[in-house]
Structure 1
């Protein structure tokens, strides 16, 4: 299974929401569900990605960085292409 590095998203959450719980509330999901997404157990839905984009009027590049930065096997990250 392809895994994503959500470190940029974690920074975005901290900067704009302060706590994971507040971001989860914004998305309309539980904190446990958010944890599962950030741990690559469950994918983010299109609605959740869209809602995040609308929060801060994010560009496509921003969304790629937040949601689609791939985690590679050497523990380095690369942006999805």
Structure 2
């Protein structure tokens, strides 16, 4: 992108790097949650990660005990 000056080009590279790091951290957090606590929150969250919709409903104690091991297998 030759039309960007040096500062704008640096900001463009930094933005791509920062968004990549944030996406990577979100993926790690979602896999950690899937492994240790695959339960939906009691209150609706605004922007859940893609794995969240498959989590167990809040308060489903029986499902938690019977399905926990299957949630620890990553897709």
Under TM normalisation by the shorter chain, which class is it?
under 0.3
Choose between structure 1 and 2: higher helix proportion.
Answer: 2
Choose between structure 1 and 2: higher strand proportion.
Answer: 1
Q: Whose relative contact order is higher, 1 or 2, with alpha carbons under 8 Å and at least 6 apart?
A: 1
Which protein is bigger by CA-based radius of gyration? 2
* TM-score, normalised relative to structure 2: 0.25
